[in-house]
Chain A
Amino acid sequence: MPDANPSVPQADTLLTDDDRSRLEGWLAAQAGASRVAVTADGALGGAANHAITLDVADGPQAGRHACVLRAELAGRVSASIGKRREFAALSAAFQAGVTAPEPLFVCDDPAILGPDFFIMRRVDGLGAGFAVVKGDAPQADLARALGRQLGRLHRLTPATSGLETLAPPPDCPAQEAVHQFRDWIGDVAQRDPVLAWGLRWLHVNAPLPGAIVLCHRDFRTGNYLVKDGALAAILDWEFAGFSDPMEDLGCFCARSWRFRRINREAGGIADRADFYAGYEETAGRKVDPQRVAYWETAAYLRWAAIALQHGRRHSSGAEPSLELALTGRMLPEIEMDLLRHLKSAAARAVTPVERIG
């Protein structure tokens, strides 16, 4: 069964010898060093992640640094914001004290490697969803820590400096999300009544705009690292953007990312109460369970839209891949999770808001 984000080592095709010497020259200039040596340590999980070691000869960053190079993919999904913006979001989060890999260098000069890329410090830990949720006891402390980190992230707003390059905040995050999903899903919504109903439900029940903050937008088990049972780093910032803070909470609790620990509603690791409590410690706001339920519905539609895009990348011949093909075939599973959620008490409590004017 395909994991959405498998940690499968892939052939390391990014760094040829020529690439490496261009990269070394560029890094030396960036680091203010007379020389930087780059050692390729192989491909990592997730597409276009490469483990590298930098040996910086001198200057303020002198020393040996274990790093990850994240490069832009040719066939990225529509939700992805590109490496420069990803670097900006990660930098802002890191500076705000969020547990994430330290971002070091970003490059948008096509003469260096071709695609845009950035380099961040490498963090050790377990990431694969099934491995993280393993174990008989719930991991309340981990869920609470993740809640705290998310609360800290959500203190960043469109006014935070460094975030100017991100897309401007939407007037109404919920209606904006519905527009995007409609666009990504396209004419499949005229053939698949489950997707049609999901989109309609999101439209009819869209909450009025409230707080708008920097959201991770893929905040879920599988996208953070755990070391010795403790949170080591939050990864994969490539979808970050301004939205309703409850979007990230809904995503974290969605069935799709519980990795068969279906009764541990917070990411397959613990109860919602643990995760919510951690969030309220740092966020400066209360969790709104109705809004979370709304955004959980959105999480299924978003994942369905992404699975459809993956399937199309294969079927169109653009990127023939068994993994993409099988991800496309996950659609009914995602839809079953959506329907189970819509039948839940939490989703039934969501009602259309009274609109003025």
Chain B
Amino acid sequence: MRTGPDAFALLDIAAATLRRDVLPHLPPDGRYTALMVANALAIAERELRGLDESGRAMLLALAPLYGEDADAALCGEELATRVDALQHRLCIEIATGAFDGDGQDTLMESLEAIVRARLAIANPKAAG
């Protein structure tokens, strides 16, 4: 169906070429721009590879708040829909004061796990 090399391989070699063959020859302004391009390529690659894994980590963080088990078999569109639905529900509960008194520690743990899952794609270094 698809002509190789695949999207991952193309992103890999594009980023490596940018760093190895282009960056060293650029003046400082161009260097800053090229580093932004490299950063964008790296985020795109992590998202292609890791979106489901990140979604499952978010599901794992959210499900216990509702006494549910995270369904580890979910993937793709179904997983994204499930995570979005749980996040929306949590947003409504937060906004209506469900965590104003008790449950803040549990909430904070879940929120941190959610952000870590998103940082794994956007900027893994900031998750440390």
User: Chain B: residues with CB nearer than 8 A to chain A?
Assistant: 29, 32-33, 35-37, 39-40, 43, 84, 87-88, 90-92, 94-95, 97, 99-100, 107-108, 110-112, 114-116, 118-119, 122-123, 126-127
Contact = CB atoms under 8 A, between A and B. Distances in A.
Interface residues of A, number: 30
29 contacts: A1-B39, A2-B39, A6-B32, A8-B33, A190-B91, A191-B87, A191-B91, A192-B87, A193-B87, A193-B94, A194-B115, A196-B90, A196-B95, A197-B99, A197-B107, A200-B99, A322-B37, A322-B40, A325-B40, A326-B36, A326-B39, A326-B40, A326-B43, A331-B122, A332-B115, A332-B126, A333-B119, A336-B119, A339-B112
A189 interface: yes
B115 A335 contact: yes
Contacts of A197: 94, 99, 107, 111
B122 A192 contact: no
Contacts of A2: 36, 39
B91 A330 contact: no
Contacts of B33: 8, 322
A121 interface: no
Secondary structure of the B contact surface, majority rule: helix
B35 A329 contact: no
Nearest to A197: B94
Contacts of A193: 87, 90-91, 94, 110-111, 114
Contacts of B107: 197
Name which of A192, A193, A325 has the most chain B CB atoms within 10 A of its CB: A193
A189 B37 CA distance: 29
A331 B116 CA distance: 12
B114 A194 contact: yes
Given A197-B99, A336-B115, A190 B94 contact: no
A200 B115 contact: no
A204 B115 CA distance: 23
Interface string A172-205: 0000000000000000011111101101100010
Contacts of B87: 191-193
Nearest to A199: B95
Q: Which are the 5 A-B pairs with shortest beta-carbon distances?
A: A332-B118, A196-B91, A193-B90, A196-B94, A333-B126
B115 A329 contact: no
A263 B29 CA distance: 30
A59 interface: no
A191 B92 CA distance: 9
Residue of B43, B90, B99, B115 contacting most chain A CB atoms (<10 Å) = B115
B19 to A, nearest CB: 14
Contacts of B116: 336
Contacts of B29: 8-9
A323 interface: yes
A343 interface: yes
Contacts of B90: 193, 196
A342 interface: yes
A1 B108 CA distance: 27
B98 to A, nearest CB: 9
B111 A339 contact: yes
Interface string A309-340: 00000000000001101100111110110010
A305 B25 CA distance: 37
Nearest to A1: B39
Interface in A1-39: 1-2, 6, 8-9
Given A2-B39, A8-B33, A325-B40, 4 more contacts: A190-B91, A190-B92, A204-B100, A336-B127
A192 B91 contact: yes
A339 B108 contact: yes
B84 A191 contact: yes
Contacts of B100: 200, 204
A196 B29 CA distance: 38
A231 to B, nearest CB: 26
Contacts of A194: 111, 114-115
A322 B110 CA distance: 31
B108 to A, nearest CB: 7
A339 B99 CA distance: 15
A342 B115 CA distance: 14
